[in-house]
Amino acid sequence: MIGRTALLMLVMSLIGCGGGGPSESAGHGDDAKTLRIAVIPKGTTHDYWKSVHAGARQAAAELGDVEIIWNGPDDEKDKGGQIRIVDSFVAQHVDGICLAPIDRDALVAVVKRAKKRGIPTVIFDSALSDLTDIVSYVATDNHHGGVVAGERLAEVLGGKGGVILLRYQAGSESTEQRERGFLDVMKKHPGIKILSESQRVDSDTQKALSVSEGLLYDNRDAVNGVFTVCEPNNKGMLQALKNRKMLGKVKFVGFDPDPLSVEALRKKQMDGIVLQNPVRMGYLAVKAMVAHLRGEKVDKRIPTGETLATPDNMDDPKIHQLLFPKQLD
């Protein structure tokens, strides 16, 4: 038979096990589990993705009970590697995946596999050709970004001249939309001649330099303006223009900032940079996934905005913040 003192101690211990004290998982009660969210960018080396990482980490810190697992391929053309990373996270049974797909078609199947295993996916930055099996798509309106770039280049050219478009790799939905938006604007300006629109470069800056130098050499005095659709292309074209002593003479609009491009904008060697908000993109992608996992309604499409920086407005506080977004290594 249990004595009165022993019985009292047993009751008190059961009350203690029942909860009521502060939880180790801050913010969502005693029974809240830590959500493990895999965030998979197209690559990990460029400044843009470091800013996406910063936004994802910021969201996790604010939400509480959220762990970000960041992993992506080193090479942005390694779609096979990205597929393996997604499959690995599915095998680990993370709670959710936020994915920036390298290829709009190749990553569809792996997202379907994740869904069948009960793991939802938020797509960010660049869309899939089939968005049926995703929670939400968080991204810039890239077609509109291309339109903004085209309008800026047409403006600084005075509506006439020869123009080069340096494309990114095929299958990247985001950059293809930028290219399409840019060309849509060019069609409205009969005084502008497209000298080249077929050359593509992947994420290799040295390859962008080589291709850019070839384009500038082939077109020589005919080229009056260029548009590059992403960070590595900006860098390659900048160096090519410098090498050929055309920097500042050829009108130049790029997409996404990096220190070299911002410096060129300051010196009026670039005429515009279309800015995304990568910190906000990473932030909203993680927020959308956690909201979904917690049973909240999430919009199917979440825009993150696009803005044009020029030499005249680059010191505006809002523009400056987008030119120098936070980064995580």
Identify the CATH number of the domain in which residue 281 sits. Answer: 3.40.50.2300
Query: What share of the chain in percent tops pLDDT 90?
Result: 88
Same domain, 132 and 154: no
Domain of residue 194: give its range: 142-275
| The predicted structure's pLDDT at residue 328 | 84
- The answer to whether residues 169 and 261 belong to one domain is yes
CB-count exposure of residue 254 (10 Å: 0-12, 13-18, 19+): buried
Q: Are residues 102 and 213 in the same domain?
A: no
pLDDT digits (tens, 9 = 90+) for 25-64: 334 444 568 999 999 999 998 899 999 999 999 999 999 9
* Same-domain check for residues 215 and 282: no
Question: How many separate domains does the chain show?
Answer: 2
Q: Are 119 and 151 contained in the same domain?
A: no
Please answer whether residues 152 and 254 qualify as being in contact, where contact means their C-beta atoms are separated by less than 8 angstroms. no
Look at 3 and 50; give whichever has higher pLDDT.
50
Distance CA(261)–CA(272), nearest Å, equals: 9
Could you report the per-residue pLDDT of 4-19, keeping only the tens digit for each? 433 333 333 333 333 3
Continuous H helices in 117-258? 142-157, 173-186, 205-219, 231-243
Give a yes or no: residue 25 inside a domain: no
pLDDT for 125 equals: 97
Strands 301-303 and 251-255: unpaired
Q: What's the whole-model pTM score? A: 0.86
* pLDDT given at position 34: 96
Is residue 321 in some structural domain? no
- Asked whether residue 221 falls in the same domain as residue 250, the answer is yes
Asked whether residue 16 is domain-assigned, the answer is no
Spatial distance between the Cα atoms of 275 and 24, rounded to a whole number of angstroms:
40
Q: Is residue 48 part of a domain?
A: yes
Q: Which positions ≥6 away from 90 have C-beta within 8 Å?
A: 97, 110, 113, 114, 117, 119
Same domain, residue pair 198 and 264: yes
Which tokens sit at 86?
């997604």
Task: Count other Cβ atoms within 10 Å, centred on residue 1.
Answer: 4
- The per-residue pLDDT for 109 is 98
Q: Is residue 224 located within the same domain as residue 117?
A: no
Last residue of a domain, one of 275, 290, 322: 275
Residues 41, 133: one domain? yes
Residues 124 and 170 in one domain: no
